[in-house]
Amino acid sequence: MVGALPAAGGGLAVSERGDLGIATIMARASSTAALAQRVAERFGIALIDGPILSGAGAVRFAGTGPGSWLSFCEGADPFWACSMAVQLDGVASVFDQSSGYAVLRLGGAEAMPMLQSGAFIDLHADAFPVGAVAVTVIAHVGAILIRVGEAQFDVAVFRSFAGSFWHWLATSAAARGVPLHRFSEDG
């Protein structure tokens, strides 16, 4: 599976999360509460309107702005966003972004220092705990950071920037003398 660390531990393990359905969810006017209720009904998730990851199962909502989320679904089919739009009809506008982002999972002891070297937001566990979300910039590339574990982060960048982002990742890892382990989706 994704993000497994090398046997020796340490270093930085990077894998691409290619199986994700992604959608931008934006609450309709004055409908944030109604949306939260709908999400609770349909997904059993307490949706938080803030820079926090809501949900722990296959479907999750990462708060990216007031009344705005990036929703992720593992193992989604190509029409997942359409079905999401049906589920949230009347309370939110849903926009398919499944192909719009490249999502990398960074794990290992060096994941946090690496991302910290790129992002000017405090990633210390006290300031950016597990579940925290940030919309920020790394190496001039817009990035959405989600702390999914103590030493595990998901980073979403617009897919057209993936090459430049990888260049940053590779050169920064080299600058730190950090061995970079790249994993494919199927291990």
Partner 1 sequence: MSRLAAGGSIDRRQPLAFTFDGKSYQGFAGDTLASALIANDVRLVGRSFKYHRPRGILTAGAEEPNALVTLRSGARAEPNSKATTVELYDGLEAASQNRWPSLGFDMMAVNGLLSPIFVAGFYYKTFMWPRRFWERLYEPLIRRAAGLGALSGLPDPDSYDRDHAFCDLLVIGAGPAGLMAALTAGRAGARVLIVEEDFALGGRLLAERHEIDGQPAADWVAAVAAELASLPTVRVLKRTTLFGGYDSCTFGAVEKVADHLVTPAAGQPRQRLWKIAAKRTILATGAVERPISFGGNDRPGVMQASAVEAYVNRFATAPGKRIAIFALTASGLRLARALKAAGIEVPAIVTPDGTGDGSTIAGMVTATHGKTLRSIEVSGRRIEADILAMAGGWNPAIGIASHLGARPVWDDAIHAFVLKTPPAGMALAGAAAGHFSLGEAIDDGLREAQAALADLGMPATVGARPATSDDPAGVGTLWSVPGSKGKAFVDFQHDVTVDDIALAEREGFRSVEHLKRYTTLGMATDQGKAGQVNGQALLAAATATAMGEKGTVIARPPDRPVAIGAFAGAHTAAHFRPVRLTAGHAWAAENGASFVDTGQWKRAQWFTRPGESDWLESVTREARAVRTGVGICDVSTLGKIEVAGPDAATLLDRLYTNMMSTLPVGKARYGLMLREDGFVFDDGTAARLADDRYVISTTTANAARVMQHVDYCRHVLWPELDAQAVSVTEQWAQVAVAGPNARVLMQRLLPDMDLSNEAFPFMASAQCRWRDGPARLFRLSFSGELAYEIAVPADRGAALMRALTEAGRSFGVTPYGTEALGVLRIEKGHPAGNELNGQTTAHDLGMGRMLSARKDFIGRALAGRAALTDPMRPTLVGLKPVRPGERVRGGAHLLPLGAAARAEHDQGYVTSACFSPVVDGWIALGLLANGPSRIGERVRAVSPVRGTDVEVEVCSPIFFDPEGVRLRG
CB of 53 vs partner 1, minimal distance in Å:
19
Q: Using the minimum distance from each CB to partner 1, give the nearer residue, 92 or 148.
A: 92
List interacting residues with partner 1 (CB under 8 A). 24, 26, 28-29, 78-79, 82, 92-93, 95-101, 116-120, 122, 124, 127, 139-141, 158-165, 167-168, 171-172, 174-177
Q: Using the minimum distance from each CB to partner 1, give the nearer residue, 87 or 117.
A: 117
CB of 56 vs partner 1, minimal distance in Å:
25
- Among 127, 138, 109, 158, smallest CA distance to 51 is for 127
Token output for 124: 């210390």
DSSP labels, 62-76: EEEETTEEEEEEET-
Amino acid letter, 103: V
Q: Using the minimum distance from each CB to partner 1, give the nearer residue, 85 or 130.
A: 85
Token output for 17: 């999360």
- Among 35, 42, 185, smallest CA distance to 104 is for 185
CB of 154 vs partner 1, minimal distance in Å:
17
Quote the DSSP letter at residue 108.
S
Token output for 173: 């890892």
Q: Using the minimum distance from each CB to partner 1, give the nearer residue, 50 or 56.
A: 50
CB of 24 vs partner 1, minimal distance in Å:
5
